[in-house]
Structure 1
Amino acid sequence: MKTIFKKVTAAALAATMVVGMAACGSGSETASSSDSAASSSGTEAAATPAVTDNSKIKIGVSIWSSTDVLGSQCKLILDAAADALGVEVQYVDQGHVSEKVTASVEQLVAAGCQGIIICNSSDTEMTSAIKTCNDNGVYLAQFFRIISETNSADIYQAAKDSAYYIGAVHEDEPANGEALVNILLDKGDRDIGLIGWEQGDATWLGRWEGYKAGVDKWNEAHPDDPAQLSEPQYAGTTSEGGSKAAEALMAADPNLDALIPAGGGGDPLQGAIAAVERAGKTQDIDIVSTDFLPDLGDRLENGSMAGESGGHYCDPLIAFMMVYNAIKGNYTGFAGNFEDVSFPYLYVSSAEDYQAYEKYFVDQLPYTSDELVEMSNLDLSALKEAAKNISIEDAASRAGN
């Protein structure tokens, strides 16, 4: 199959794996490298021996929800990867409640997980998560999140120093926010209400930065046709929260012509849409958001959604592969490094756009079992390249279309 993924796989498998930031090595090399890394990170944890028997590998997933729209899609691809590789996976749903987020890491370590992937809520939670993993020799990677080097410099440095923290798989959230607000501005919307999920969440703050940047750029270029963005209403991660937030914004501003429920797994968006429908304003208020809904195609067609970003749900798959290879001893030398894995959003703004996404990401998973095994054999550099190239077009080419 002529695809970027296949080309990356072939190149990676043909290349000689070298020890380094994204190194692959034997079990003995891994132990030596891990000893050195643990020493340089200042942790007391002994080197974690490589696990060669996949049936003995257990990877934990700390997630806001494994049952809502986005979370259930993440679980599908992670379960498929676990089945393809013959490893065990365990989930803990923490609802982005800070104490539950930190407790989830302790719970997964106690359950015998050698590696954990986590979608945390705030950077501060990562202090405890990193310490727990350092103390127990458990590998850790973030998904849908990255620690802010600017706003959380001490936590970022702790992650970088750790012999067990691998890195973060995340999107360019400011760019995402700006792209979404531009969809609304291009449709003629000028009075935009904003719904966040949790104050202080790094991903939410990134999206908010993008929304504000888009509006600011518009106003600078169109001083006679200004747009405004409301202060956010916070919804948590529930449908009821999204509904109440939308109702509050509509009540506060009768001229509201657009809403951005910023995300939170999909449920807040569904609540906001329902509130707009109950108010009889579906044709008056355009809605864009992040995290695809299962009926997004219909909603783009009937006008209850104007556009959306997200939909890939493969972000945690890349974090899963990073942790898997660390447990196997294929990736080593984490202390002093912070692997920043950029991941692309998919954008749809029409029913036709969604049909292509639905064909390759909903009706079927974008990777077969054989392709998931091939992905697990990539070195870290090639894995990052594969992540960067995940797209509707790539999935279509892998399907032979």
Structure 2
Amino acid sequence: MKKSLRTIALILALILMMSVLVTGCQPTNTTAPTTAPTGEVKTKLPAGTKIGMTILVNDGLFATMAQYIQYIADNIGFELVLDVGAFSPEDQVASVENLIAAGCQGIVFCNFSEAVLPKIATVCDEAEVYWAQYCRQVDNQEIVASLNNSKYYVGRCYENNANVAVRVVKAFEELNVKKTAIIGPATGDTTTDTVSAKFKSLCQEKGIEVYTEIRNAQEAADCTAAAETIVSNFPDVEGIIVLSGSTGKLEGVFKGLENVGKLGKIKVGALDASVNIVEDLKKGSIVCANSGQFVDNMFTTMLVLNAVLGTPLKTDGKATIECEYVAFYKAADAEFYFANMENLKDKVFAYNIDEVRKMVKYFNPAFTYDDLQAIATAYSTEDVKTRHNIT
């Protein structure tokens, strides 16, 4: 009997030894677990994760973007560093260098000119810092090639800018607007250049005349002067498209039209929305605004954040995420949007914290680049109503 017990003990010891050896030979799992060692679900990123963001001004659309990303950072656990006010290419390079010097591991960047992008790529490659563009597509194929060759360039998010022109022309047609003009910032910016080109093409196709295009309206005062000049030179103008209405530029156009007694009489369509868009739609100051692009910045942040954490969403090339604007034709459109999609006061957004957390592979290892693209493609008021059960 004792011999049998010793034999059984020896067999069990051998089995245990083999189990240890086999376990020790298994490959290490490098995918971040979704639960902590205690079994609790993880809700915070690793300590020390730091993301930088360049924003052009600290108000309007850019302020909304910054506040939304700060809200996300506070809730999922990373540090956000802002660099504000870089407009010229030289200042934008310095802005990125400032964020690198501050210890940022990834940078979310918005350029004014495509020409600056190769320099940004060089700076980030040398510093081994991941970066991506928000609200910007790249048209110059030589620059695209240089970005594709940049190790630390993650990709870009941008809107379907041509559809801005489609919506504005549709609104003008419904109001029988046949004589129009264009106000926008200097040429060389892909976003506004795309809207302008599509608008002119559609107008030619539909028999709508474009009297003039003023492309030096960088500030609100420039837009005021441009609107006054258009009315002075073309008294019978019926509609104006504003290629960039952010940072007070759309309000500048309204002021110019008011100064010459044409506010509400000349129909205005725009990329971006005014600060008081609900009232402006009610008064008829504008007939079509295209907004909602603050989520673009979030999608870009998710691309950079996943790369910084060692789990890039796109591993076979650079990311190109396209999303749509949200169009406001009437006050009710804007009221719904600011109550349910961009509500800073009550912290109600198109994507809540639980939804954002699922876009990070650290929390959700199954998440993919295709998943992010599908989310961006679906972005709309109807999508928000469905996801958040709003009737």
Among 219, 230, 234, the alignment partner of 1:249 is 230
Q: Which residue of 1 aligns with 2:46?
A: 54
Among 204, 210, 215, the alignment partner of 1:233 is 215
Letter of the 1:373 partner, please give it.
R
TM-superposed CA distance for 1:318, in Å, is 0.1
8 Å contact kept, 1:297–1:355: yes
Whole-Å separation in 1 of the counterparts to 2:314 and 2:296: 23
Whole-Å separation in 2 of the counterparts to 1:309 and 1:128: 31
TM-superposed CA distance for 1:290, in Å, is 1.2
TM-superposed CA distance for 1:279, in Å, is 1.8
Whole-Å separation in 1 of the counterparts to 2:275 and 2:301: 24
2:164 matches 1:176: yes
8 Å contact kept, 1:115–1:138: yes
8 Å contact kept, 2:264–2:285: yes
C-alpha RMSD over aligned residues: 2.1
Whole-Å separation in 1 of the counterparts to 2:166 and 2:311: 38
Residues 92-171 of structure 1: pairs in structure 2 closer than 5 A: 92-148=83-139, 152-171=140-159
TM-superposed CA distance for 1:61, in Å, is 0.8
Q: Which residue of 2 aligns with 1:331?
A: 312
Call closer, same or farther: CA 1:198–1:97 in 2, change over 3 Å: farther
Q: Which residue of 1 aligns with 2:354?
A: 370
Among 236, 253, 266, the alignment partner of 1:272 is 253
TM-superposed CA distance for 1:104, in Å, is 1.2
Q: Which residue of 1 aligns with 2:266?
A: 285
8 Å contact kept, 1:178–1:212: no
For the residue of structure 2 that corresponds to 1:80, the secondary structure is helix
Unaligned runs of 5+ in 1: 1-24, 29-51, 220-225
8 Å contact kept, 1:115–1:323: yes
Q: Which residue of 2 aligns with 1:190?
A: 178
TM-score (structure 1 length as normaliser): 0.80
TM-superposed CA distance for 1:229, in Å, is 4.4
Greater relative contact order (Cα 8 A, min sep 6): structure 1 or 2? 1
Q: Deviations 1:165-210 (Å, cap 9, x if unpaired)?
A: 1111001212322322332233111221211113211111111111
TM-superposed CA distance for 1:266, in Å, is 4.2
8 Å contact kept, 2:250–2:273: no
Residues 295-314 of structure 1: pairs in structure 2 closer than 5 A: 295-314=276-295
Letter of the 1:326 partner, please give it.
A
2:247 matches 1:263: no
Q: Which residue of 2 aligns with 1:32?
A: none
Q: Deviations 1:286-335 (Å, cap 9, x if unpaired)?
A: 1111112232121111111111112241000000000000000111775x
Bigger radius of gyration, 1 or 2? Answer: 2
For the residue of structure 2 that corresponds to 1:325, the secondary structure is helix
Whole-Å separation in 2 of the counterparts to 1:127 and 1:164: 12
For the residue of structure 2 that corresponds to 1:260, the secondary structure is strand
Unaligned runs of 5+ in 2: 1-28, 33-43
8 Å contact kept, 2:159–2:293: no
8 Å contact kept, 1:27–1:329: no
Call closer, same or farther: CA 1:62–1:266 in 2, change over 3 Å: same
Call closer, same or farther: CA 1:103–1:255 in 2, change over 3 Å: same
TM-superposed CA distance for 1:375, in Å, is 2.4
Call closer, same or farther: CA 1:351–1:59 in 2, change over 3 Å: same
Call closer, same or farther: CA 1:75–1:312 in 2, change over 3 Å: same
For the residue of structure 1 that corresponds to 2:231, the secondary structure is helix
Among 353, 359, 362, the alignment partner of 2:339 is 359
TM-score (structure 2 length as normaliser): 0.82
For the residue of structure 1 that corresponds to 2:83, the secondary structure is strand
Moved more, 344-353 or 89-98: 89-98
Call closer, same or farther: CA 1:249–1:379 in 2, change over 3 Å: same
Whole-Å separation in 1 of the counterparts to 2:103 and 2:377: 32
Call closer, same or farther: CA 1:181–1:227 in 2, change over 3 Å: same
Identity over the aligned pairs, expressed in percent?
25
